[in-house]
Amino acid sequence: MLCDDCGKNNARLHYTQIVNGRKMDKHLCEKCARAYSASNYNMTLPNIMTGFLSNQVKKEAIRTEQCSECQLTYDSFRRDGKLGCEKCYQVFSDRLAPLLSNIHPHTVHKGKIPQNSTESLKRMRQLENLKEQLEKAISDEAFEEAAKLRDEIREIEKNGGGSK
């Protein structure tokens, strides 16, 4: 398929744009795609974050709170889409949580275990998962399940799975 813009090169990118409810599809070569995105949009992570923020936060709800570590204000974050330091996540957590949950379904990074990881790492991860299940079973008052999980955790710890 040839590029919709230049009609010469092979189209390697499918571009969809929705404006005022109208969908427009384009098939572009790399050269035209670069020119098109540079002239129409600046799709950087800070700009995307700023777009999410402008849709998520009502102006009257914004407090002029400031990070004690880097002195960043929430207004600055809304404008730039960048946090100043790791403490900003704690200071602005009540407003960041809904924003991040729209981007990613989980608010805690679990990560993955590499295929070639050691057995002890896999046992540690299994132990962490079992402890989380145990806490949930206790809070749900599923005491029989909690007892089974407790015994399984003890067995893994007894066999050296709990060492860090």
pLDDT, tens digit (0-9, with 9 covering 90-100), for 89-133: 888 888 887 777 777 666 666 666 666 667 777 788 888 899 999
User: Considering the entire predicted model, what is its pTM?
Assistant: 0.33
Q: What is the spatial distance between Cα 79 and Cα 81, in angstroms, rounded to a whole number?
A: 6
Q: Does 44 or 158 have the greater pLDDT score?
A: 158
CA distances from 84 to 39, 53, 74, 81 (A): 29, 16, 10, 10
